[in-house]
Chain A
């Protein structure tokens, strides 16, 4: 299914008085997908979003919207709307005034505005809130108003800058589901910025992992989680055990003074690599049956599972298991070949 991307960033760089916020980013966004820019703060994700929205001009490179160069187009000339981090609602207007703003500016007929505002309020589950003042709304409700306000202009792309950051966990989960629903219902493209990997994994069609102004990996949530491209991605997306290792030959890696069977090929013989193992993929077995021997150092109850730190010779393993071993227990660790992920050593480290 080959489709013309709705947005394309070509060699986009951004420089703030000497500090490089973005280093030659190339990215395309497909129509109707839910794309998430994920990364720690300062990784350039918000800058990327602001460049797509038109609030910043890239120092170098171009932005294309449906094949047209929009690099220097102001925000209001783009068929893109934004939901801001702290909602940025107009405190001097009521809910209706906020949502209607985009249409009022365009001088749309009053009756149509009234109808569309009601439609939008229904979409975000705030029926009957027209005359409420912004101060009287909870954080979640303000968020809904911000979404409705951005959507009333019927943008083809909606940009969301950490929209759920200020909400508590429960509300955030609910809003995640709701946002996804809205996106599917309207069938428009969402570009979502977050530093919350769980949020990214549960909502996105495509995740773009960023660090220091560079894209680390682009892929579906499954790809990013199961096949992280480097140690940074592995560490950022969920917990990981990252151990320095050496490729003995194809399908065999050496770490912790022992050869392990794995499924990776294509590395040079004796190439130094990062070995990544997810904590849930480390099995605790009887001492004699394990590939590694260790002692449980700490146990934390996490609800669904226990998280244990197991000290072996040379490394502390994070292990997640539904079965608990007490602190001080001598245990064996077992790792299956397909749970071992081999990554090229990052050059900078």
Chain B
């Protein structure tokens, strides 16, 4: 108890770089500058009802959802394999997963631009094999691909760490009682790894819904997501109030989705939540 002052530097840091900026966003979101000075307004929020912006929001949520689901579908089996007895000793596969994370995220995304080009290596090979070329650069597919590629480790790692810690005797007990691998997977492993799945989903969904780099590079200029819209307001348009309003609504969306996740998590943990 006496040592709480150790935390003070962090508290100061927290105040300056997190709490104050958040308050500023709220402040800007609900004010506007008029000739008489600054005054409170809801106009910035009301402006969001414009179908153009609504569509941007919807598309962002939609693409983030698809990416998250894709990450889960790919990531879960990968985590299972990585956590299995055979691979745990050899770290090779795990290393393959981590190495790309050492390379800057922008560089990797630029690499995808090159790979998806009209005359890319992939298309040369496809052409050689007499297969139709892949032309997805600057489409939704490319954006989703970029997100899945970049965020997959954030799905795999939390699930992996839960799976690795799973008490092996629980699985042995299930085997002992006559369960085959699929029953064990369905009744024991998946339910017990849900906390990992939940944090994986959170860690993919959040950066996916806020990204503006992937959508700009792989989606081309016309594929605007909320992230791009916010960036635009602050950097090019200079409308900080509207930008803040967008950010504020985005934060609300994220908070709501976290709450929903939390609720499902609780429901599950309760098991017999009847009483």
Chain A residues with Cβ below 8 Å from B167 are 86, 88
Query: When each residue 65-86 of chain A gets 1 if its CB lies under 8 Å from chain B and 0 otherwise, what string results?
Result: 0000000001110000110111
Q: Which of A37-45, A100-108, A201-209, A272-280 is the contact stretch?
A: A100-108
Contact partner of B272 (CB less than 8 A), chosen from A74, A76, A86, A94, is A94
Within 8 A of A (CB), among B235-257: none
Given the interface pairs A86-B167, A88-B169, A92-B188, the reply to whether A102 lies near B275 with Cβ below 8 Å is no
Instruction: Give, as a whole number of angstroms, the nearest-CB distance from B142 to chain A.
Output: 39
Q: Give the contact stretch, choosing among B90-98, B117-125, B173-181, B225-233.
A: B173-181
Query: Quick check: B178 and A85 within 8 Å, CB to CB?
Result: no
B271 within 8 A of A: yes
Say whether B7 faces chain A, with CB atoms less than 8 Å apart.
no
CA–CA, A90 to B268, complex, Å? 14
Choice from A74, A85, A102 contacting B177 with Cβ under 8 Å: A102
Q: Do residues A76 and B179 form an inter-chain contact, with CB atoms below 8 A?
A: yes
B150-184 to A contact mask, C-beta < 8 Å, 1/0: 00000000000000000101101111111110010
Contact A131 B169 (CB under 8 A): no
A128 at the interface (CB under 8 A from B): no
**Cα distance, A265 to B155, chains bound together (Å):** 73
> Which residues B167-213 have CB closer than 8 A to chain A?
167, 169-170, 172-180, 183, 187-188, 191-192
Contact A92 B271 (CB under 8 A): yes
Partner of A101, one of B177, B180, B268, B271: B177
Residues A84 and B173 in contact in the complex (CB < 8 Å), given A90-B188, A92-B188, A133-B271? yes
User: In the bound complex, do residue A76 and residue B173 qualify as a contact, i.e. CB atoms below 8 Å apart?
Assistant: no
Residue pair A55, B178 in contact (C-beta under 8 Å): no
Chain A 89-128 interface residues, beta-carbon cutoff 8 Å to B:
89-94, 97, 101-102, 105-106
Docked complex Cα distance between A92 and B170 (Å): 11
Least CB distance, A258 to chain B, in whole angstroms: 54
CB of B111 within 8 Å of the partner chain: no
Number of contacting residues on A, CB 8 A?
27
- Chain A residues whose C-beta falls within 8 Å of the C-beta of B103 in the assembled complex: none
Q: How far is the CA of A93 from the CA of B272 in the complex (A)?
A: 8
**Chain B interface residue count, Cβ-Cβ cutoff 8 angstroms:** 22
Chain B residue numbers with a CB within 8 Å of A92 are 188, 191-192, 268, 271
Given A76-B177, A84-B172, A90-B174, A105 and B183 contact (CB-CB distance below 8 Å): yes
Contacts of A90 in B (CB 8 A): 170, 173-174, 187-188
Indicate whether A53 reaches chain B with its CB closer than 8 angstroms: yes
Provided the pairs A82-B173, A88-B167, A90-B188 are in contact, do residues A153 and B178 lie with their beta carbons within 8 angstroms? Answer: yes
Is B274 an interface residue when CB atoms closer than 8 A count as contact? yes
State in angstroms the CA–CA spacing of A86 and B275 once bound together.
27
Pairwise interchain contact B178-A86, C-beta atoms closer than 8 A: no
Contact assessment for A74 and B188 in the assembled complex, using a CB-CB cutoff below 8 Å: no
- Which chain B residue lies CB-closest to A96? B272
Q: How far is the CA of A90 from the CA of B178 in the complex (A)?
A: 14
Write out the residue numbers on chain B whose beta carbons fall within 8 Å of the beta carbon of A89: 170, 173
Question: Complex formed: what's the CA distance from A89 to B173 in Å?
Answer: 8
Distance A95 CA – B268 CA, assembled complex (angstroms) = 16
**Which residue, A53, A84, A85, A149, has most C-beta atoms of chain B within 10 A?**
A84
Q: Which of A157-178 contact B (CB under 8 A)?
A: none
Report chain B residues within 8 Å CB of A101.
Answer: 174, 177, 179, 187
B179 (CB) vs chain A CBs: closest residue: A105
Pick from B170, B178, B179: contact of A88, CB below 8 A.
B170
User: How far does the alpha carbon of A68 sit from the alpha carbon of B27 in the complex, in Å?
Assistant: 79
Q: Are the CB atoms of A105 and B271 closer together than 8 Å?
A: no
Smallest distance from the beta carbon of A94 to chain B beta carbons, Å?
A: 5
Residue of B nearest to A80 (CB): B176
C-alpha spacing A119/B272, complex, angstroms: 21
Contact of B169 among A86, A91, A150 (CB under 8 A): A86
> Chain B nearest CB: distance from A272 CB in Å?
46
Contact B177 A131 (CB under 8 A): no
CB–CB B178/A106 < 8 A: yes
Residue numbers in B under 8 Å from A81 (CB-CB): 176-177
Closest A-chain residue to B175, C-beta based?
A75
A137 CB, nearest partner CB in chain B, Å: 13
Cβ of B176 and Cβ of A76 under 8 Å apart? Answer: yes
CA distance A184 to B167 in the complex (A): 32
Pair B176/A75 contact, Cβ less than 8 Å: yes
Docked complex: B89-117 residues within 8 A CB-CB of A: none
The answer to whether A131 and B188 touch (CB under 8 A), given A81-B177, A85-B169, A105-B177, is no
Chain A positions near chain B (C-beta within 8 angstroms):
53, 55, 74-76, 81-82, 84-86, 88-94, 97, 101-102, 105-106, 131, 133, 149-150, 153
8 more contacts with CB within 8 A, not counting A89-B170, A133-B271, are A53-B176, A75-B172, A75-B175, A91-B192, A101-B177, A102-B178, A105-B178, A153-B177
13 contacts between A and B (CB under 8 A): A55-B172, A75-B172, A75-B175, A81-B177, A84-B172, A84-B173, A89-B170, A91-B170, A92-B271, A101-B179, A105-B183, A131-B274, A131-B275
